[in-house]
Amino acid sequence: MSRKTVRAPLAATAALAAATGMCLWGCIETYGVETAYQSQNRDPYMISAQFTRLAGVAAAVPESATLGYLTDAAAGSVTASAMRTAAQYVLAPRLLADGTGHDWVLGNFTRPADFAALGRAQGLRVRQDFGNGVVLYRREGGR
């Protein structure tokens, strides 16, 4: 039996080559744009700074703890979401739960305030103010 070779028309081959070339060019351009963006915006939500900011809380709270979470950032805002997600990431394996219904509560604030009064209104006392808007609360009557 003999084999017969079938060739695609020249126009189809040229179109396929052009499409492949454009895809490769698009990949190279996207890589260049993304590289430039990442070099200018290394950490827009300052996630790496949260390790230093929350180090005292990580040292003071057992790894098995579930912490309540209290913030002054507007609920549902990008700021609130970024702050909570960063705190959960940094404090893992500890868990964060919204609200103040736990023995330990993390206060993660965007601006100075009377943190002791905010805690008292929730039945909490300040265990330690770490500065920079980070406060560790303990439920009244807790250790």
Instruction: Express each pLDDT in 25-76 by its tens digit.
Output: 999 999 999 888 878 777 777 788 899 999 999 999 999 999 999 999 999 9
**Would you say the C-alpha torsion 5, 10, 13, 16 has a positive or negative sign?**
negative
How far is Cα 137 from Cα 56, in angstroms, rounded to an integer?
13
Confidence of residue 1 (pLDDT cuts 50, 70, 90): low
Q: Which of 7-16, 94-103, 123-132 has the lowest mean pLDDT?
A: 7-16
pLDDT at 4: 79
pLDDT at 142: 57
Phi (first) and psi of residue 105, to 5 degrees? -135, 130
Say if residue 7's pLDDT is above 70: yes
Residues ≥6 apart with Cβ < 8 Å to 52: none
Which of 97, 95, 87 lies closest to 52, judged by CA?
87
